[in-house]
Amino acid sequence: MRTRASGRTRGALGAVAITTVLALAGCAAGADSAESDGPKGNVTLTFLTFETPNLTARYWDDAIARASAKVPGVTIKKLVAPSADRVGYAKQLAASGQLPDVMIAVSPNGFAQAGQLAPWTDAELTEFIAPHSNPIDGKIYQLPYNTQPTPLVYYNKSDFAAAGITAPPKTYAELLDASAKLKAKGINPFVVGGGGKDTWADMFPLIGAVATDTYKQTPDWLSRKAAGQTKFTDPAFTKPVAKVADLAKNGYIDTAGLSRPYTDVEQAFRDNKGAMYPMGSWFAASADADKPGFDVGVFAWPSDDGSLVVPAYTGGGMTVSAKAPKVDLAKKWALAFMLDKTSLDNSVKTDGSIIALKNYTPPPGMGPVYTATANLYQQAVRENAIVDAFSIETGDGSMPPGLPDKAAAGVADLITGRKNADQFGSFLDQEWAKANR
């Protein structure tokens, strides 16, 4: 799933690394409506969630029941987003006066500014390691319960060995060299997606490149853009964009992959249709739970000088409608859901979550891909190498609502050669201006 972050302190992320493990982001699919098995009460709340191969209907139903048992007087009606675009679906519901009372992993951007969400107080955020992540006008509207590196690069160790690549690349030049060696052996270097409603799945190479080339030098670059101090046509931004265009031009990104929806992208990697798979850290749990026919390794998108840079996001939790019946009770239920140990452990085991809660201890016996992912993230925190993930930010200084989807459409044009780096930058500047009119 796509979640979004900004306003995060690196000290807080350090605490996450020391005391927690890896985060989810999953992706939405399907549509459903059901009531929880919790006790019938004097208020019914609608709860918008999502389902993935990892986070099934059973996962959500069981978690809803546990939270409801802790908050007597609440009955939950479950709503399942029909696609990965949960924000778009929530907007549709809001436009008809049906904004869900509680939502999970839905960006508050746009809803909060319109007065549609209830802010969380400091007293309600005492259990969270980074309680002031993603502020909007100084207020917190989404519970910051997990951290997810987005992306890391998962790779097929057998393909690397076949191409004579003895170690994962640390510099960008080494990444290009590895890509050339793979292509020479008839192995597609990168698996990408972006088909159907999952256009966001093409963004990961660009997010990685912006992290190493733009945010590494200027961590608040997007905030400066919001203040009118930078442009997407600036060389600081077009340089990483050009890298992605060149990867495609050199045949290292298979353009046919742009027709694949998210689930098919993962399956393509599992089916050995490409050696490298830039993806959020949630893939780690999937790789351990259903091991492909090859060993999977992981590395960070390489920078020019080889220094470690990892884009990541802290957030993803519950938001509560300002017009929910009994807002205080809705918030109490949302907190009960978020703080439930069983639900958190299940999220770690099924979706590779890094839980950003004080005193949380992850379940033992996690698999090798998850462990490698967690170790890489923790290394980045120790080296002060965490930056925001471009287009996944929320809060002050983030992209205007709807612009990340425009960016994903632009990346498809970039990969197919319909836009070059300068044209892509101009496109984003124009779309930014339209979104702020």
Determine the pLDDT at residue 327: 97
- DSSP-derived 3-state class of residue 33: strand
Q: Measure the CA–CA gap between 331 and 318, rounded to whole angstroms.
A: 9
- Mean pLDDT to the nearest integer, 142-154: 95
Determine the pLDDT at residue 373: 95
Question: What percent of the chain is predicted at pLDDT more than 90?
Answer: 77
Domain spans of the chain, in order of start: 10-149+313-388, 152-312+393-435
- DSSP-derived 3-state class of residue 148: strand
For residue range 279-314, list pLDDT tens digits in order: 999 999 999 999 999 999 999 999 999 999 999 999
pLDDT band of 354, cuts 50, 70, 90? confident
Q: Measure the CA–CA gap between 188 and 411, rounded to whole angstroms.
A: 19
pTM for the model: 0.81
**Number of other CB atoms surrounding residue 214 within 10 Å:** 23
Q: Which amino acid is at 231?
A: K
- DSSP-derived 3-state class of residue 194: coil
pLDDT band of 36, cuts 50, 70, 90? very low
Judge whether 10-149+313-388 and 152-312+393-435 match in fold: yes
Q: Measure the CA–CA gap between 188 and 175, rounded to whole angstroms.
A: 14
Q: Measure the CA–CA gap between 129 and 163, rounded to whole angstroms.
A: 43
pLDDT band of 375, cuts 50, 70, 90? very high
Of 4-8, 204-208, 235-239, the range with the lowest mean pLDDT is 4-8
- Mean pLDDT to the nearest integer, 271-286: 96
Q: Measure the CA–CA gap between 398 and 221, rounded to whole angstroms.
A: 10
CA distances from 316 to 240, 356, 392 (A): 27, 10, 11
Which residue did the predictor score with more confidence, 24 or 277?
A: 277
Determine the pLDDT at residue 217: 97
pLDDT band of 130, cuts 50, 70, 90? confident
Determine the pLDDT at residue 16: 37
Q: Measure the CA–CA gap between 289 and 302, rounded to whole angstroms.
A: 27
Which of 353, 345, 350 shows the shortest CA–CA distance to 373?
Answer: 353
- DSSP-derived 3-state class of residue 3: coil
pLDDT band of 395, cuts 50, 70, 90? confident
- Mean pLDDT to the nearest integer, 268-275: 97
Of 233-242, 332-341, 343-352, the range with the lowest mean pLDDT is 343-352
Rounded mean pLDDT of the chain?
89
Q: How many residues does the chain have?
A: 437
Q: Measure the CA–CA gap between 97 and 92, rounded to whole angstroms.
A: 9
Q: Which two tokens stand for residue 215?
A: 């945010």
- Mean pLDDT to the nearest integer, 362-380: 92
pLDDT at 17 over 50: no
Q: In the 3-class helix/strand/coil scheme, how is 47-94 assigned residue by residue?
A: EEECCCCCCCHHHHHHHHHHHHHHCCCEEEEEEECCCCCHHHHHHHHH
Determine the pLDDT at residue 397: 81
Q: Measure the CA–CA gap between 58 and 76, rounded to whole angstroms.
A: 15
Of 27-41, 63-77, 139-153, 272-286, the range with the lowest mean pLDDT is 27-41
For residue range 83-117, list pLDDT tens digits in order: 878 888 999 999 999 999 999 999 898 899 999 99
Determine the pLDDT at residue 9: 33
Write down the architecture of domain 152-312+393-435 according to CATH.
3-Layer(aba) Sandwich (3.40)
Determine the pLDDT at residue 351: 86
- Mean pLDDT to the nearest integer, 178-199: 96
- Mean pLDDT to the nearest integer, 406-425: 97
Do strands 276-279 and 152-156 pair parallel, antiparallel, or not at all (unpaired)? Answer: antiparallel
Do strands 296-299 and 152-156 pair parallel, antiparallel, or not at all (unpaired)? Answer: antiparallel
**Number of other CB atoms surrounding residue 358 within 10 Å:** 13
- Mean pLDDT to the nearest integer, 65-75: 95
Q: Measure the CA–CA gap between 157 and 55, rounded to whole angstroms.
A: 27
CB within 8 Å of 120: residues ≥ 6 apart: 139, 140, 141, 143, 331
Q: Which helix (H) or strand (E) holds 370?
A: helix 368-382
pLDDT at 189 over 80: yes
Determine the pLDDT at residue 405: 92
Q: Measure the CA–CA gap between 222 and 207, rounded to whole angstroms.
A: 13
Q: Assign domain 10-149+313-388 to a CATH class.
A: alpha beta
Determine the pLDDT at residue 28: 34
CB-based burial of residue 42 (10 Å sphere; 0-12 exposed, 13-18 middle, 19+ buried)?
Answer: exposed
Q: Measure the CA–CA gap between 134 and 45, rounded to whole angstroms.
A: 25
- Mean pLDDT to the nearest integer, 398-424: 95
Which of 313, 315, 311, 307 shows the shortest CA–CA distance to 215?
Answer: 311
CA distances from 68 to 72, 107, 284 (A): 7, 24, 30
